[in-house]
C-alpha cells in the first residue's frame, strides 16, 4: 500500500449530512470544496430526522421564548450568547433551505408553514416535511451540491486521522488521511481549512435510533489530534423508539406526542403526570428517565404510546411514514397502542468549539452533532439539532472565508503516513477483536445508560480500558480497514463518555447518577473537558 496522490482544496469537509452539505454549498461560492463521506452521500443521521426544525416564526411565538425553552432544557450548561445567535438565525436559515429546494409542509391554505410541537417547547414552532423532514433535507442538499461545479463529493471514503503539525508550539491541522476502501489506498487530503461534520455516536449503544455511520469518528479523531472534547456524559436517549423494530430502532417522533399522543403503562395508566407538570411533553431527559423507572419497577419490556383517540385521517395525514412502517410490522396506530422503549439518540457533547465553530487546533472547525458549541448544554431541546447544525455551518463559513488565503500549505508538504500500513490484515485475530463491538454496545447500554451509578461507571471504565488497548494494538499492527477503524473510534468514544461521566459527581440534564441524585450548582455548573496529553 502506498500514498497514491495528494489532494488539495480550499475547504475540506468530512461528512455529508446537513452540517457538511449546507457548509459546502456556501463555501463553494469562495473556493474549491472537497467533501469526504464514508458511505453514500445520503448515509447520515440527517436522513432519518422526523420531527423537524425548531424556529420561532409564528405570531404568538418569539425568539425570547425559544431561547428560554432551550436554556431551560439545557439545565444550566447552555451558553446564552450561542443560544441567542442560533435561535435568531433560524428564519434566515430556513429560507436558505427553501432556496436549495427543500419543501416544508404547509397549512391547508398553503400560505404558511405548518408548525408542530415537541417536548419542552412552549409554542408550536417545529417546521417539518410531513414526518420525513430529514430525508427531504438530505435529498435537496445532495441534489444542490451535485450541481455545484466547485464541490467534489467523494463517497466511500473514510477519514482515518487528522494531519497535525506543530508550528512553534501551536498545533495546526493540515488536512486528513483518508482510506479509499475500494483500492485500499490511504490518501492525504490537504487544506488550510478542515471541517469535521461527522455526526454522532449512537452506534456505541446496543439500542439506538442512529444508522450505522454513527460511530463517533469525529470525536475520536479530534481527541487523538489533541483537540478539546467535552460534555460527552450527556447522551440523549429518545423516549419512544418502537420496541423490537430491528437493528436500528425505528423512531416514533416526539411530534406524535405533540399532536396529542399519550404514554401509558400496560394497565392503561397514564404515568407522566407523576413526573412533570408538562406530562407527555416534558423535556426528553425527564420522559426517558420516567419510562426507565417504570420499566424497572414493573419488569415489563415496554410502555405504550396511544394515539387511538385522535381522528385516524389526521394521524395518517400527519405521520404517513410512521403509520406505514408500523402497519408493516402488524400495528395499526389508529387502533393499536404502540409498544415503545428509549434508545440512544443524540450526542450533546462533542468537539469543543467557539462561537464560530473553531476548535483549539488552528485550521480545524467542527459543526453539527460532532460539535459541542454551548447550544444544547446538558440536554438538547427537541428539533434544535438540525437548526444548530445549519447555524454553525453558517458561522464557520463566515469565519473561514474571512481567513481564506491567510495560511497556505507548503507545496512540498505531503506528510509521511504514520504507522504501519503495509502487510496482510490478520483475519483470524480480527475475529477475536471484532467481538468487542458487541461488548462495547452491551456495556454502554448496561452500565452507562439512562440511570448510572458510581460502581457501574467504575466497572465500565475498567472494561473499556482493556477493550481500547486491545483494539488500538490491533489497529496499529494491521493495514487500516473501515471495520477496524470504526471499532477503534467506537472504543475511544465510549472511553471518553465514561471518563466524562465519572468526573461529573452530580445529576444534571441527561446525566443521572443515583449516588449523586441532585444537581450540585456552584462547582459543577461547568463543562467537562478532556484533552489528550501529548
Ligand atoms: P450526520 O447527518 O450524521 O452526517 C454525518 C456524516 O459524516 C455522514 O455523511 C457520515 O457518513 C459522515 N462520516 C462520519 N464519519 C466519517 C468518517 N470517518 N469519514 C468520512 N465520513 C464520515 N434533529 C432535529 O433537530 N430534528 C429532528 O426531527 C430529528 N430527528 C431525528 C431522528 C432520528 C431517527 C435521528 C437518528 C436523529 C434525529 N435528529 C433530529 C438529530 C439530527 O438528525 C442529527 O443530529 C443531525 O442530522 C446531525 O447532522 P450532521 O450533519 O451533524 O451529521
Ligand atoms: C423526533 O422527531 O422525535 C426527533 C426530534 C429530535 O431528535 O430533535
Distance 46 CA to ligand 1 centre (A): 4
The per-residue pLDDT for 419 is: 41
Q: Which atom of ligand 2 is nearest to the CA of 131?
A: 2
For ligand 2, is residue 255 a contact (CB within 6 Å)?
yes
- Ligand 2 atom with the smallest distance to the CA of 346 is 7
Q: Are 452 and 513 in contact (CB under 8 A)?
A: yes
For residue 50 and ligand 2, the question of a CB distance below 6 A is answered with yes
Give the model's pLDDT for residue 310: 98
Cα 469 to the center of its chain, rounded Å: 26
Q: What is the pLDDT of residue 4?
A: 45
SS3 483: helix
Task: Give, rounded to a whole angstrom, the gap between the first and last alpha carbons of the chain.
Answer: 28
Best of 39, 53, 198 for a ligand 1 pocket test (most atoms within 8 Å of beta carbon):
198
Please state the atom number of ligand 1 nearest to the C-alpha of residue 178: 19
- Each residue's pLDDT, cut to its tens digit, for the chain (534 residues) gives 344 456 889 999 999 999 999 999 999 999 999 999 999 988 999 999 999 999 999 999 999 999 999 999 999 999 999 999 999 999 999 999 999 999 999 998 888 999 999 999 999 999 999 999 999 999 999 999 999 999 999 999 999 999 999 989 899 999 999 998 788 888 899 999 999 999 999 999 999 999 999 999 999 999 999 999 999 999 999 999 999 878 789 999 999 999 999 999 999 999 999 999 999 999 999 999 999 999 999 999 999 999 999 999 999 999 999 999 999 999 999 999 999 999 999 999 999 999 999 999 999 999 999 999 999 999 999 999 999 999 999 999 999 999 888 888 877 676 655 444 667 899 999 999 999 999 999 999 999 999 999 999 999 999 999 999 999 999 999 999 999 999 999 999 999 999 999 999 999 999 999 999 999 877 778 999 999 987
CA distance linking residue 524 with residue 531, whole number of Å = 19
User: Is pTM, for the whole model, over 0.85?
Assistant: yes
Q: Is 124 a catalytic residue?
A: no
Q: What pLDDT, on the 0 to 100 scale, is given for residue 164?
A: 93
Q: How far is the CA of 67 from the centre of ligand 2 (A)?
A: 18
Dist. CA 446–CA 455, nearest whole Å = 12
Three cell numbers, residue 289: 428517565
Which numbered atom of ligand 2 lies nearest the CA of 50?
2
Domains by residue range for the chain, with CATH = 7-233+353-402 (3.50.50.60), 239-345 (3.90.700.10), 427-528 (1.20.58.100)
408 within 8 A of 40, measured Cβ to Cβ: no
Catalytic residue, chosen from 248, 284, 289, 488, is 284
Q: Is residue 52 in contact with ligand 2, taking CB distance under 6 Å?
A: no
> How confident is the model at residue 110, as a pLDDT?
83
pLDDT at 245: 76
Ligand 2 atom with the shortest distance to the CA of 384: 8
Closest-approaching ligand to the CA atom of 210: 1
Q: Is the CB of 133 inside a 6 Å radius of any atom of ligand 2?
A: no
- C-alpha to C-alpha distance for 195 and 55, rounded to whole angstroms: 25
Say yes or no: CB of residue 385 within 6 Å of ligand 2: yes
The crossing angle, in degrees rounded to 10, of helices 454-477 and 427-447 is: 160
* Ligand 1 pocket, residues with Cβ under 6 angstroms: 14-20, 36-39, 43-46, 48-53, 133-134, 158-159, 197-199, 209-210, 213, 217, 251, 346, 368-370, 383-386, 389
Pocket lining: 344 vs ligand 2, CB cutoff 6 Å:
no
251 Cα–ligand 2 center, Å: 8
Amino acid at each position: 500500500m502506498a500514498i497514491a496522490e495528494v489532494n488539495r482544496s480550499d475547504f475540506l469537509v468530512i461528512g455529508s449530512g446537513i452540517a457538511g452539505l449546507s457548509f459546502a454549498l456556501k463555501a463553494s461560492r469562495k473556493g474549491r470544496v472537497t467533501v469526504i463521506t464514508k458511505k453514500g452521500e445520503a448515509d447520515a443521521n440527517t436522513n432519518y430526522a422526523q420531527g423537524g426544525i425548531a424556529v420561532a416564526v409564528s405570531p404568538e411565538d418569539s425568539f425570547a421564548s425559544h431561547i428560554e425553552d432551550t436554556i431551560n432544557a439545557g439545565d444550566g450548561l447552555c451558553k446564552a450568547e450561542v443560544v441567542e445567535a442560533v435561535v435568531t438565525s433560524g428564519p434566515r436559515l430556513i429560507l436558505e433551505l427553501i432556496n436549495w429546494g427543500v419543501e416544508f409542509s404547509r397549512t391547508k391554505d398553503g400560505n404558511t408553514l405548518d408548525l408542530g410541537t415537541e417536548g419542552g417547547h412552549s409554542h408550536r414552532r417545529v417546521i417539518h416535511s410531513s414526518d420525513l423532514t430529514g430525508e427531504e433535507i438530505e435529498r435537496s442538499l445532495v441534489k444542490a451540491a451535485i450541481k455545484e461545479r466547485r464541490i467534489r463529493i467523494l463517497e466511500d471514503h473514510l477519514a482515518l486521522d487528522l494531519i497535525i503539525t506543530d508550528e512553534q508550539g501551536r498545533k495546526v491541522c493540515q488536512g486528513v488521511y483518508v482510506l479509499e476502501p475500494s483500492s485500499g489506498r490511504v490518501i492525504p487530503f490537504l487544506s488550510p481549512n478542515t471541517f469535521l461534520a461527522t455526526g454522532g455516536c449512537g452506534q456505541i449503544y446496543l439500542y439506538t435510533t442512529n444508522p450505522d455511520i454513527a460511530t463517533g469518528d469525529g470525536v475520536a479523531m479530534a481527541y487523538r489530534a489533541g483537540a478539546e472534547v467535552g460534555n460527552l456524559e450527556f447522551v440523549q436517549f429518545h423516549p419512544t423508539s418502537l420496541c423490537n423494530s430491528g437493528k436500528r430502532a425505528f423512531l416514533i417522533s416526539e411530534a406524535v406526542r405533540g399532536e396529542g399522543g399519550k404514554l401509558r403503562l400496560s394497565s392503561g395508566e397514564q404515568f407522566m403526570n407523576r413526573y412533570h407538570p408538562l406530562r407527555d411533553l416534558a423535556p426528553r431527559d425527564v420522559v426517558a428517565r420516567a419510562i426507565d423507572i417504570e420499566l424497572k419497577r414493573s419488569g415489563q419490556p415496554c410502555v405504550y404510546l396511544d394515539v387511538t383517540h385522535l381522528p385516524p385521517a389526521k394521524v395518517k395525514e400527519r405521520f404517513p411514514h410512521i403509520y406505514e412502517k408500523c402497519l408493516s410490522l402488524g400495528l395499526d396506530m389508529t387502533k393499536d397502542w404502540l409498544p415503545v422503549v428509549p434508545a440512544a439518540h443524540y450526542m450533546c457533547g462533542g468537539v469543543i468549539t467557539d462561537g464560530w465553530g473553531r476548535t483549539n487546533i488552528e485550521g480545524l472547525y467542527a459543526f453539527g452533532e460532532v460539535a459541542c458549541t454551548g447550544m444544547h448544554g446538558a440536554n438538547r431541546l427537541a428539533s434544535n439539532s438540525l437548526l444548530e447544525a445549519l447555524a454553525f455551518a453558517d458561522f464557520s463559513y463566515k469565519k473561514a472565508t474571512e481567513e481564506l488565503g491567510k495560511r497556505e500549505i507548503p507545496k512540498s508538504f505531503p506528510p509521511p503516513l504514520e504507522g504501519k500500513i503495509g502487510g496482510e490484515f490478520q483475519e483470524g485475530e480480527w475475529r477475536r477483536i471484532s467481538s468487542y463491538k458487541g461488548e462495547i454496545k452491551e456495556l454502554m447500554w448496561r452500565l452507562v445508560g439512562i440511570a448510572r451509578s458510581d460502581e457501574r461507571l467504575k466497572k465500565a471504565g475498567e472494561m473499556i480500558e482493556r477493550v481500547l488497548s486491545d483494539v488500538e494494538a490491533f489497529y496499529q499492527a494491521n493495514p487500516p480497514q473501515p471495520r477496524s477503524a470504526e471499532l477503534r473510534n467506537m472504543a475511544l468514544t465510549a472511553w471518553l463518555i465514561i471518563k466524562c461521566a465519572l468526573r461529573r459527581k452530580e445529576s444534571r440534564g441527561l446525566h443521572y447518577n443515583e449516588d449523586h441524585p441532585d444537581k450540585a450548582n456552584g462547582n459543577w455548573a461547568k463543562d467537562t473537558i478532556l484533552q489528550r496529553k501529548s
